[in-house]
Amino acid sequence: METIDKIKQQIADNAILLYMKGSPKLPSCGFSAQAAQALMACGEPFAYVDILQNPDIRAELPKYANWPTFPQLWVAGELVGGCDIMLEMFQQGELQPLIKEAAARAREAQAQ
């Protein structure tokens, strides 16, 4: 499978997806750590891809997303942004409902 197809599949298969360095429990960079903490604070499960373990995705995703840096948060197939945007949205109370709604829609779709 081509890398771009793999990225598209991951985004399609996961309502809430964080491309990051490391894992939520063991992040490998400060920005990824902050992004994962903000997402965990929203209280919904989310998927993640460790780009350090996937150099092909690390190389191709910035071109596909037209977003040069990591982490990248994707919700319901749309790029939300990186760490700064996530933290700003979280502090303004905008990230939590976005995440809750995406998780609820994903649960409804799985139940059908």
Q: What are the structural domains, with CATH classification, of the chain?
A: 3-106 (3.40.30.10)
CA distance 71 to 33: 9
Strand order in the sheet with 16-20: 47-50, 16-20, 72-75, 78-81
Alpha carbon 41 to its chain centroid, in Å, reads 14
Amino acid 95: pLDDT:
98
Q: Is the pLDDT of residue 112 over 90?
A: no
Q: What is the mean pLDDT of the chain?
A: 97
Q: Which residue has the tokens 């793999």?
A: 6
CA distance 46 to 35: 12
Query: Widest CA span of the chain, in angstroms?
Result: 39
- How much of the chain exceeds pLDDT 70, in percent? 100
Mean pLDDT, range 39-65, rounded to an integer: 97
Mean pLDDT, range 91-106, rounded to an integer: 97
Q: Identify the DSSP state of 81.
A: E
